[in-house]
Amino acid sequence: MSIVIIDYGSGNLRSVQKAFEKLGFSAEISKDTSAIRSAKGVVLPGVGSFDSALKELRAHGLEAAIEEAIAMDKPFLGICLGLQHLFESSEEGKERGLGILKGQVVKFNFSNTPWDNQSIPHMGWNRLLIKHPAPIFEGIESGNMVYFAHSFYVKPKDDMIVTAATDYGPEFTSAVWKNNVFGIQFHPEKSGPVGLKILENFGKLCLK
Specify the range with the lowest mean pLDDT, choosing from 49-63, 86-100, 124-138: 49-63
187 is catalytic: yes
Based on the residue annotation, tell me whether 189 is a catalytic residue of this protein: yes
CATH of the domain at 170: 3.40.50.880
- Give the C-alpha distances (Å, rounded to integers) separating 155 from 23, 48, 81, 175, 192: 32, 19, 14, 11, 27
- Choose the weakest-confidence range: 41-55, 65-79, 97-111: 41-55
Question: Which pLDDT score is estimated for 35?
Answer: 94
Q: What single-letter DSSP state applies at residue 140?
A: P
Q: 80, 85, 95, 122: which one is catalytic? A: 80
Number of domains in the chain: 1
Return the pLDDT at 112. Answer: 81
Q: Given pLDDT bands bounded at 50, 70 and 90, which one contains residue 180? A: very high
Rounded to 10 degrees, the C-alpha dihedral 169/201/88/127 comes to: 0
Q: Which of 95, 150, 187, 206 is catalytic?
A: 187
Tell me what pLDDT residue 10 has.
Answer: 66
The active-site residue, picked from 150, 189, 200, 206, is 189
Q: Is the pLDDT of residue 36 over 90?
A: yes
The predicted pLDDT at position 98 comes to: 97
Q: What average pLDDT does the segment 84-105 reach?
A: 97
Q: Of 45-59, 66-80, 121-135, 172-186, which gets the smallest average pLDDT?
A: 45-59
- Tens digits of residue pLDDT in 168-179: 989 999 999 999
Structural domain span for residue 32: 3-206
Assess contact for 110 and 120: CB atoms under 8 A: yes
Mean pLDDT of 174-191: 97
The angle subtended at Cα 105 by Cα 165 and Cα 120, nearest 5°, is 70
**What's the predicted TM-score (pTM) here?**
0.96
Mean pLDDT of the chain: 94
